[in-house]
């Protein structure tokens, strides 16, 4: 098929603690990528590379309607660090210190917190049907090696509490549990270590993306799982490979605070 007449895709590259995103503004009938193009752009050797690609659409009730894609072309219902990046774009455009995003997981509220961005990722999903799981089991002690916890944060998470997070072969164990039959839609996998100061160390294997330097929805799931197991309060700092996130599980949802960065803008020829 001749694609020479197709207009190029303009994009912005951003990251939250190294969790990196290609963001494409699809408003005003601007071109958006096909699934094949998402995969091509996501190739870290031959493309741009990203953990998620984000397409922004016009919205009647929010600053943006947002669609998240993994590097394998599949969609994700939520992405916390990307939401913080997008919220910064929305606030810069509107001149306000707050923003509202509409995602597959629902409406997300965000605000400035000094030099950081805070987003409410909504209440955790704690029903086996809605995570979703394949059958009714104890979400705090799944019938898997290591008895992990399950939490939904707009996408499914499987949280393991381990003695030494650095010792986990995440490429092997993450891929193994991502595809476990207990998770009919696959799952993100977190390996978490409790530290002596009350904070947590987290490493993440993202569904459809692989190991990542940070995962915002994963950090939310970890905070919920840790509190439900009695390991932390509802307010906790989590150390990820790319930096720190602060989590606060309030009555209206799990609030996540952290930094964001702009990398560059570019054009993808088609």
Is 80 among the annotated ligand-binding positions?
A: yes
Residues that are catalytic: 79, 215
Instruction: Give the CATH H-level superfamily of domain 9-121+258-268.
Output: Diaminopimelate Epimerase; Chain A, domain 1 (3.10.310.10)
Burial of 77 (0-12, 13-18, 19+ CB in 10 A): middle
Q: Which residues pair with 95 in a beta bridge?
A: none
Does the predicted model carry a pTM greater than 0.85? Answer: yes
Helix (H), strand (E) at residue 100: strand 98-103
Quick check: 195 and 220 in contact, CB under 8 A?
no
Contacts of 64 (CB under 8 A, 6+ apart): 27, 56, 57, 58, 86, 90, 101, 102
Q: What are the pLDDT tens digits along the chain (270 aa)?
A: 444 578 999 999 999 999 999 999 999 999 999 999 999 999 999 999 999 999 999 999 999 999 999 999 999 888 999 999 999 999 999 999 999 999 988 899 999 999 999 999 999 999 999 999 999 999 999 999 999 999 999 999 999 999 999 999 999 999 999 999 999 999 999 999 999 999 999 999 999 889 999 999 999 999 999 999 999 999 999 999 999 999 999 999 999 999 999 999 999 999
Residue among 167, 177, 229 nearest 205 (CA): 177
Same fold, 9-121+258-268 and 149-251: yes
Is 206 among the annotated ligand-binding positions?
A: yes
How far apart are the C-alpha atoms of 212 and 229, rounded to whole Å?
25
Is 216 among the annotated ligand-binding positions?
A: yes
How far apart are the C-alpha atoms of 68 and 161, rounded to whole Å?
28
Is 52 among the annotated ligand-binding positions?
A: yes
Is 71 among the annotated ligand-binding positions?
A: no
How far apart are the C-alpha atoms of 211 and 86, rounded to whole Å?
22
Annotated domain spans of the chain:
9-121+258-268, 149-251
Terminal Cα distance for the chain, rounded: 12
CATH class of 149-251: alpha beta
Is 188 among the annotated ligand-binding positions?
A: yes
């Amino acid at each position: 098929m001749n694609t020479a007449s197709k207009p190029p895709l303009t994009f912005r590259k951003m990251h939250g603690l190294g969790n990196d995103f290609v963001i494409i503004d699809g408003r005003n009938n601007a071109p958006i990528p096909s699934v094949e193009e998402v995969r091509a752009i996501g190739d870290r050797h031959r493309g741009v590379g990203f953990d998620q690609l984000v397409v922004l659409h016009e919205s009647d009730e929010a600053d943006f309607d947002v669609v998240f894609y993994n590097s394998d072309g599949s969609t994700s219902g939520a992405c916390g660090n990307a939401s913080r990046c997008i919220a910064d774009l929305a606030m810069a455009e509107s001149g306000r210190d707050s923003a509202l995003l509409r995602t597959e997981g629902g409406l997300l509220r965000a605000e400035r917190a000094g030099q950081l961005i805070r987003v409410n990722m909504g209440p955790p999903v704690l029903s086996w049907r809605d995570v979703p799981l394949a059958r009714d089991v104890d979400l705090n002690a799944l019938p898997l090696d290591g008895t992990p916890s399950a939490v939904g944060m707009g996408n499914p998470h499987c949280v393991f509490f381990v003695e030494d997070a650095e010792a986990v072969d995440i490429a092997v164990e993450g891929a193994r549990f991502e595809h476990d039959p207990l998770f009919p839609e696959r799952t993100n996998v977190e390996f978490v270590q409790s530290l002596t100061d009350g904070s947590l160390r987290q490493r993440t294997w993202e569904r459809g993306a692989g190991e990542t330097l940070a995962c915002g929805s994963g950090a939310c799931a970890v905070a919920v799982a840790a509190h439900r197991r009695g390991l932390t309060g509802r307010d906790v700092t989590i150390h990820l490979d790319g930096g720190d996130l602060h989590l606060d599980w309030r009555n209206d949802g799990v609030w996540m605070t952290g930094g964001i960065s702009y990398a560059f803008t570019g054009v993808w020829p088609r």
